[in-house]
């Protein structure tokens, strides 16, 4: 009976992402900030490999880590709790949820006042503790509700429990949730009850009312498979109750850990999903470094209990949803990488998965482990085969035979090209894919021991067709066996598929008997455009359709390879390229219909295992 315990340490980011400056978060590093406190101590997380994660090497290094680790990248455009958790569950949010830095629009508040029968105070971005200090007394005199927001996508309602009973406050939040749709569709409506006398104190009866996820999540897929999804803390609220079979709310981290242990002592099959919110709510937003450090230390002290709870087929995963650096001047969330720490009896010790492309890899890995094939496509790439000590019998020879071992870096030197040629020969890859300027020298070096592949119109496809034809003929004259061409995406966006097809046809004529692969850069196309390109590639007589250059916003996805397999002609083969970072990924792409894989990572992984890549 397989069980996964997924614990989100709310806001425990591990360093700024490349786009942090776009969010005003340059320099943020929540974990590093907390570690500056003398109260910070996480030796048990360290034993699992926390300080081996990319960018976290400043902590004490463990000679033999007992878990598997990775640094997780948020793809969604946001840094709030809702979007972070949705991505962990396999849903990417390409647009940020709306925020209201100038307060909520008049028409929204008028509708809210009409339905609640109460006036509104504040209507500004505010600290939760400061807003009740500044408006609490007026609220108690007038009965008006304190409505405020923050840098996050939230509509928050604060009320004293002696003025507005808790059930009534919850009803007001339900009204606000119903009204906050469309352009007002904030991620969460939050009840913020408080009590006592000035300066007042917030109570533990907070309640979140989230948007319903826009598509099926990992939670839905697990439920549909007849398994359990147990929600601890505010997980139920974040997912609006969707895809959850059993839930318990908590008053803080300690109760969250205890409830998780209680579920672990019971019987279920599926997922126990826990959010520990104190880091964010009590310490991050208040820039309380010592409190944050103490809370992390407290979790680390309870970690041995969680590990002892695990049964033979259990996995424990610990991650986060964003950052909330308690040292930077901002009191808001921060755009950061997050940790992924995995432990359990079957977990391969000391595995470092490097930096993963999306939080959604967590969802893909969990579904893979539970043996669930979702009815709808869920984002993410499973890391299961790299995590488990014994899993699928991966035919590595078959994988190598499908790999176009690739080096297309702008700074590539002949010595580096020579090395990948040697590696390609040693591991029996399908080809080496290299810049055109090195084709002649590489072909002379490998002779007939290795196929040479090169790129045309790379990476943007801007060149005229005449130039691409010339480049193709020149590459073949220099010894290229295979050509990977980039289409003109502008023609696709204008619907000129006739021009795209004509260009492919001309390059295929220039190739003669050599193989032509057509790169369509799937991450920049709509599904309809991808389908049209499948037809164009087929009609033009190309040998392969290829997902990506590896130089754009994203690489190959399982969904795109599945789509290709449904829509290309029977003579057209599929090449997946970009972001293939494990043998498990490679096998999955082959099983879905790809017959070539553009990657540099697979050979590198093999060399690392053999101790050859230092």
* pLDDT value, residue 614: 42
| Nearest alpha carbon to residue 576 among 607, 539, 602, 540 | 602
* pLDDT value, residue 579: 83
Instruction: Identify whether the C-beta of residue 330 lies closer than 8 Å to the C-beta of residue 125.
Output: no
Cα distances (angstroms) measured from residue 569 to each of 146, 534, 563, 575, 594: 62, 8, 12, 14, 14
Considering all CA atoms of the chain, what is the largest pairwise distance in Å, rounded to the nearest integer? Answer: 89
Q: Which residue stretches of the chain have pLDDT < 70?
A: 389-394, 612-614
| Nearest alpha carbon to residue 100 among 186, 23, 174, 176 | 186
| Nearest alpha carbon to residue 456 among 492, 483, 417, 490 | 483
CA–CA dist 385, 383 (Å, integer): 6
CA–CA dist 589, 548 (Å, integer): 14
H/E element, 147: strand 145-149
- Which residues make Cβ contacts (< 8 Å) with residue 371, sequence separation at least 6? 2
Give pLDDT tens digits for 286-345: 999 999 999 999 999 999 999 999 998 899 999 999 999 999 998 889 999 999 999 998
Strand partners, 148: 156
> In b/e form, how buried is each residue of 330-352, taking b as 16+ CB within 10 angstroms?
bbbbbbbbbbbbbbbebbeeebb
Residues in the chain: 614
* pLDDT value, residue 176: 97
* pLDDT value, residue 391: 42
- Which residues make Cβ contacts (< 8 Å) with residue 556, sequence separation at least 6? 522, 547, 548, 576, 577, 578, 579, 580, 589, 594, 598
pTM, entire model: 0.61
Instruction: Identify whether the C-beta of residue 603 lies closer than 8 Å to the C-beta of residue 403.
Output: yes
Cα distances (angstroms) measured from residue 499 to each of 79, 378, 487, 508, 521: 41, 34, 10, 14, 17
Q: For 112, which DSSP code?
A: H
Here the tokens at position 448 are 């007939």
H/E element, 342: strand 338-343
Instruction: Identify whether the C-beta of residue 241 lies closer than 8 Å to the C-beta of residue 250.
Output: no
CA–CA dist 372, 576 (Å, integer): 23
Tell me how many degrees the CA angle 84-85-86 measures, rounded to the nearest 5. Answer: 95
What sections of 89-125 are H helices per DSSP? 106-116
């Amino acid at each position: 009976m397989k069980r996964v315990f997924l614990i989100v340490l709310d806001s425990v980011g591990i360093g700024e992402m490349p786009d942090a400056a776009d969010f005003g978060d340059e320099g943020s590093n929540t974990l590093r900030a907390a570690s500056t406190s003398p109260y910070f101590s996480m030796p048990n997380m360290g034993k699992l490999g926390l300080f081996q994660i990319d960018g976290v090497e400043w902590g004490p290094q463990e000679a033999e880590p007992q878990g598997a680790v990775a640094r997780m990248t948020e793809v969604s455009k946001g840094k709030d709790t809702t979007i972070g958790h949705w991505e962990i569950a396999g849903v990417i949010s390409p647009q940020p949820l709306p925020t209201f830095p100038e307060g909520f629009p008049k028409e929204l508040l008028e509708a809210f006042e009409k339905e609640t029968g109460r006036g509104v105070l504040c209507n500004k971005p505010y600290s939760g503790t400061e807003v009740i200090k500044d408006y609490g007394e007026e609220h108690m005199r007038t009965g008006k509700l304190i409505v405020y927001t923050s840098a996050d996508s939230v509509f928050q309602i604060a009320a004293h429990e002696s003025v507005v009973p808790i059930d009534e406050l919850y009803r007001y939040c339900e009204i606000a949730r119903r009204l906050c749709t469309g352009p007002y569709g904030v991620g969460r409506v939050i009840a913020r009850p408080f009590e006592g006398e000035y300066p007042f104190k917030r109570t533990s009866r907070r309640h979140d009312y989230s948007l319903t996820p826009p598509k099926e999540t990992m939670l839905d897929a697990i439920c549909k498979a007849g398994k359990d999804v147990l929600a601890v803390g505010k997980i139920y609220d974040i997912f609006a109750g969707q895809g959850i079979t059993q839930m318990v709310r908590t008053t803080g981290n300690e109760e969250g850990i205890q409830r998780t242990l209680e579920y672990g002592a019971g019987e279920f099959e599926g997922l126990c999903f826990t959010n520990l919110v104190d880091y964010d709510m009590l310490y991050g937003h208040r820039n309380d470094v010592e409190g944050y450090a103490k809370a992390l230390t407290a979790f680390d002290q309870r970690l041995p209990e969680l590990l002892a709870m695990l049964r033979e087929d259990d996995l424990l995963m610990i991650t986060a949803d964003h950052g909330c650096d308690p040292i930077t001047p901002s009191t808001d969330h921060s755009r950061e990488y997050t940790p992924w720490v995995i432990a359990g009896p079957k977990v391969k010790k000391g595995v470092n998965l490097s930096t993963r492309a999306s939080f959604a890899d967590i969802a893909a890995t969990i579904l893979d482990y539970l043996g669930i094939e979702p009815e709808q496509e869920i984002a993410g790439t499973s890391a299961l085969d790299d995590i488990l000590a014994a899993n699928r019998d991966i035919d590595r020879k078959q994988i190598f035979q499908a790999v176009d071992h690739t080096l297309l870096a702008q700074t590539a030197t002949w010595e580096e090209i020579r090395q990948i040629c040697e590696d390609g020969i040693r591991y029996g890859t399908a080809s080496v894919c290299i810049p055109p300027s090195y084709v002649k020298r590489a072909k002379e070096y490998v002779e007939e021991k290795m196929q040479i592949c090169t790129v045309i119109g790379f990476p943007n496809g801007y060149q005229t067709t005449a130039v691409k034809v010339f480049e193709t003929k020149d590459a073949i004259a220099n010894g290229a066996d295979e050509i990977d061409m980039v289409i003109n995406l502008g023609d696709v966006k204008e619907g000129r598929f006739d021009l795209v097809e004509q260009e492919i046809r001309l390059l295929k004529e220039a190739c003669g008997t050599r193989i032509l692969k057509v790169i369509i850069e799937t991450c920049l196309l709509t599904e309809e455009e991808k389908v049209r390109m499948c037809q164009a590639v087929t009609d033009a007589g190309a040998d392969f359709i290829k997902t990506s250059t590896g130089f754009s916003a994203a690489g190959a996805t399982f969904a795109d390879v599945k789509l290709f397999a449904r829509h290309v002609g029977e003579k057209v083969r599929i090449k997946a390229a970009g972001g293939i970072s494990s043998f498990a990924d490679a096998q999955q792409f082959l099983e879905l219909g790809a017959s070539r894989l553009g990657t540099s990572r697979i050979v590198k992984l093999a060399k690392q295992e053999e101790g050859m890549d230092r």
